[in-house]
């Protein structure tokens, strides 16, 4: 319970301002049904989740659409309570709407800067920067239609897997789900040759958002609901780290969640959250053990 209190209060108050001074707005969004055979000893029960690809003119953000909607609903609910209470946190009820575990990693790509950013939330945000992976696609003559979108086939070896991708040249984005990129059109669908990993097309829409729609900060300090919904950016207070160090942090979080949360908040303004939490009603839904993953997306 202590871990949940700290986690949800931190989620409420943590600063989500972003590194780019003027982040790109998403001009379109694509959704995918993600299917992953995480445990090769249990192939009949793959992990499944709806994912979201936010598309800017020169950038993209790939994230859990389930988590995205949950966070937006959570923050909107907090905003409504604070507004109804005259801007006060007194009597605030924090209710988790997380009915299932979701992926907590975001993959951001900034094409003009040849840069990617893996953002992982472990109470604090951690960021691993890298250059955009260069994938040697072989474009085929095969074509197919996905919900009326004409696509062409391409194949490549990447991350230890043989990938098959279907891209739409009519949608002029270099991006795709996860780290897949570099085709002359949006990657609509992709999977490896064993179909252990599948990104199945679920929808595409234009956002019709312009600069005049970029609003000011909302009532909850440091949170901008619009940023969650329409801007492509990574937290400017994210702690830069390496892939190796991030693995150690994930392991520590899985092995001792409560102790990890205390260590993360130590020495920060959130160290005194217990006092606020004692005055706050927290309704938890469930906790989940670390999943068995012996078949990661990227093998090498």
For the chain, the structural domain boundaries read 2-283
Bridge partners (DSSP) of residue 192 are 163
**Selected residue with higher pLDDT from 184 and 14:** 184
Mean pLDDT, the chain, rounded, equals 81
Q: What does the alpha-carbon distance between residue 135 and residue 180 come to, in Å, rounded to a whole number? A: 8
> Quick check: 181 and 175 in contact, CB under 8 A?
yes
User: Above pLDDT 90, what percent of the chain?
Assistant: 49
Residue 164 to residues 183, 189, 228, Cα–Cα distance (Å): 12, 8, 31
Judging by DSSP bridges, how do beta strands 161-168 and 105-110 pair with one another? Answer: unpaired
pLDDT of residue 288: 58
CA 8 to chain centre: 17
pLDDT band at residue 62 under the 50/70/90 scheme: very high
pLDDT of residue 45: 94
pLDDT of residue 224: 57
pLDDT tens-digit series, residues 117-165 = 999 988 788 999 999 999 999 999 999 999 999 999 999 999 999 999 9
Q: What does the alpha-carbon distance between residue 224 and residue 228 come to, in Å, rounded to a whole number? A: 7
pLDDT of residue 284: 43
**Selected residue with higher pLDDT from 61 and 9:** 61
Predicted model pTM: 0.80
Task: Please compute the mean of the pLDDT values over residues 108-125 and round it to a whole number.
Answer: 91
Residues written for the chain: 300
Q: Which of 36-40, 157-161, 173-177, 235-239 has the lowest mean pLDDT?
A: 235-239
pLDDT tens-digit series, residues 208-256 = 877 776 655 444 555 555 566 788 988 777 889 999 999 898 888 877 7
Which string of b and e fits 207-246 if b means at least 16 CB within 10 Å? bebeeeeeeeebebeebbbbbbebbbbbbeebeebeeeeb
The candidate with the shortest Cα–Cα distance to 217, out of 71, 15, 65, is 15
Examine the pLDDT at 73 and tell me if it is beyond 60. Answer: yes
pLDDT of residue 152: 98
What six digits make up the tokens of 183?
């085709």
Q: Is the dihedral of CA 160, 53, 99, 284 positive or negative?
A: positive
**Selected residue with higher pLDDT from 99 and 231:** 231
Examine the pLDDT at 60 and tell me if it is beyond 80. Answer: yes
pLDDT tens-digit series, residues 276-285 = 444 444 444 4
DSSP annotation of 35 reads E
Give the list of residues 6+ apart from residue 167 with CB closer than 8 angstroms, or none.
151, 152, 154, 176, 183, 184, 185, 186, 187, 188
Task: Please compute the mean of the pLDDT values over residues 182-203 and round it to a whole number.
Answer: 98
Q: Which helix (H) or strand (E) holds 82?
A: helix 65-84
Q: What does the alpha-carbon distance between residue 166 and residue 156 come to, in Å, rounded to a whole number? A: 12
pLDDT of residue 21: 56
> Quick check: 134 and 254 in contact, CB under 8 A?
no
What six digits make up the tokens of 78?
């907090």
Q: Is the dihedral of CA 209, 211, 215, 221 positive or negative?
A: positive
pLDDT of residue 285: 43
Bridge partners (DSSP) of residue 57 are none
Task: Please compute the mean of the pLDDT values over residues 170-191 and round it to a whole number.
Answer: 97
């Amino acid at each position: 319970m202590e871990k949940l209190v700290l986690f949800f209060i931190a989620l409420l108050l943590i600063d989500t301002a972003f590194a780019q001074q003027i982040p790109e707005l998403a001009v379109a969004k694509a959704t995918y049904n993600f299917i992953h055979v995480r445990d090769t000893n249990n192939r009949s029960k793959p992990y499944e989740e709806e994912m979201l690809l936010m598309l800017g003119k020169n950038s993209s953000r790939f994230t859990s659409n389930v988590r995205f909607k949950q966070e937006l609903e959570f923050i909107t609910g907090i905003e409504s309570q604070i507004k109804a209470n005259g801007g006060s946190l007194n009597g605030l009820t924090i209710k988790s709407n997380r009915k299932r575990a979701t992926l907590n990693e975001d993959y951001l790509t900034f094409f003009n800067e040849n840069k990617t950013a893996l953002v992982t939330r472990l109470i604090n945000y951690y960021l691993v920067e890298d250059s955009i992976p260069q994938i040697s696609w072989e474009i085929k003559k095969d074509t197919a239609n996905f919900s009326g979108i004409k696509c062409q086939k391409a194949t490549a070896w990447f991350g230890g897997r043989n990938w098959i991708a279907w891209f739409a040249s009519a949608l002029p984005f270099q991006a795709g789900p996860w780290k897949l990129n570099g085709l002359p059109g949006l990657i609509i669908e992709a999977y490896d040759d064993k179909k252990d990993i599948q990104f199945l097309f679920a929808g595409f829409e234009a956002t019709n958002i312009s600069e005049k729609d970029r609003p000011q900060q909302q009532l909850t300090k440091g949170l901008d609901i619009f940023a969650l919904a329409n801007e492509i950016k990574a937290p400017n207070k994210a702690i830069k780290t390496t892939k190796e160090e991030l693995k150690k942090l994930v392991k520590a979080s899985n092995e001792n969640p409560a102790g990890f949360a205390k260590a993360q908040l130590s020495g920060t303004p959130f160290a005194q959250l217990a006092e606020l939490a004692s005055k706050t009603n927290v309704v938890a839904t469930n906790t989940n053990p670390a999943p068995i993953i012996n078949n990661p997306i990227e093998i090498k």
